Amino acid sequence: MGDFKGKTVWIVGASSGIGAALAAELDRRGAKLVLTARRGDELAAVNRSLGDRHCIIPADVADEKALAGVADNIGSMDSAIFMAAVYTPTMLEDMDIGTARQTVEVNIMGALNFINAVYGPMRAQKHGQIVLCGSVAGYCGLPTGQPYGATKAAVINLAESLRVEAAVHGIDVRVINPGFVRTPLTAKNNFEMPMIMEPEDAARTLADGLLGKQFEIRFPVKFTRLVRFLSRLPYPLFFKISSGMLEKRANARRG
C-alpha cells in the first residue's frame, strides 16, 4: 500500500490502547475502518470520537465463528490488524491457571481465529496485509512476564511462518513488537517501564511501518534493540541479568 486513503482496514482490539490510537491515526490518514472488540460500548465511544464515520462490529476473538462472520460481512479488505491481547503480570508460583488459560485463549487462539477468518478471503482476492501484534516480551523469558511472554513468543513464531506461506498468494504479513506503551495493560505494572511511549506516538510509528517494507515493526527502537540484544546473550549472562530484574521487581512489589 502506498497510503491508507480509501483503504479498508479491519482493526481487531480497537476499543482501547494502541488499537484505539491506531484507529484514530488511520482515520486521520483517510482509511475506511472496521473496528472490532468484545466491548461494544467502548467501540462505539471510539467511533464517536472519530465522528461516527466507521463501521463497528463487536466480537470476541475467542469465538472463531464470530470472527469469521465479521470477515464475511466486510468482504474485500486491504489490511487486517490483530491488536487484541490480555495481560496479567505475575510470578509463576502465584499464577492462576484460569487466568493463564484466558491469556492463551485470547493471545494465541484469538490470533489463530483471526488468521482463519481473513486468510481464505485474502487468498481469493490475491492481495492484502495481515498484521499480528507480538511484543518484545516474546523475545525472551523475563521475570513476572508469564504466561503473557510465552503467548507473544508464539505470535511472533506464527507471523514468521505465515509470512513465507502467504507471500506466494500476494499477501503481506507483518508483526508488531512494541516495548512499553502507556495503555490499560501496562498500567497493571508496578515497576519502572523504560522509554515508555504514548499510544498516539506508537500509532504514528506503527502506521508508518505498515506502509514500509520491514517485516517487523518495533518501537521504541532503542529499547527494543536492548531487549533483542539481551535475548541473544549466552544463558549464564542472561540469567544473571534477569535475576537482577527479578530482585528489582520484587522490591517494587514490596513497595
119 among known catalytic residues: no
pLDDT score recorded for residue 190: 84
pLDDT at 152: 98
The model's pLDDT over 175-193, given as tens digits with 9 standing for 90+, comes to: 999 999 999 999 998 888 9
pTM of this prediction exceeds 0.85: yes
Single out the catalytic residue among 87, 119, 139, 148. Answer: 148
Statement: residue 167 has pLDDT above 90 = yes
Question: In this model, does residue 224 exceed pLDDT 70?
Answer: yes
Give per-residue pLDDT as tens, 46-101. 999 999 999 999 999 999 999 999 999 999 999 999 999 999 988 888 899 999 99
Identify the band that residue 250 occupies on the pLDDT scale cut at 50, 70 and 90.
Answer: low
Query: b vs e for 71-106, b when ≥16 Cβ sit within 10 Å of the residue's Cβ?
Result: beebeebbbbbbbbbbbbbbeeeeeeeeebeebbbb
Digit-coded pLDDT (tens) for 100-157: 999 999 999 999 999 999 999 999 999 999 999 999 999 999 888 899 999 999 999 9
Beginning with the edge strand found earlier in the chain, give each strand of the sheet holding 171-178 in spatial order.
Answer: 55-56, 32-36, 8-12, 79-82, 128-133, 171-178, 216-219
Instruction: Indicate left, alpha or beta for 93 from its phi (over 0: left) and psi (-120 to 50: alpha).
Output: alpha
The domains of the chain are located at 8-254
Q: How far apart are CA 196 and CA 219, in angstroms?
A: 10
pLDDT at 246: 74
**Residue 254: pLDDT band by 50, 70, 90 thresholds?**
very low
pLDDT score for 1: 76
Interval 208-226 mean pLDDT: 96
CATH number given to 8-254:
3.40.50.720
| Helices and strands, counts by H and E, the chain | 9, 7
**What gap in Å lies between CA 206 and CA 219, rounded to an integer?**
8
pLDDT of residue 144: 86
How confident is the prediction for the chain on average, in pLDDT? 94
pLDDT at 113: 98
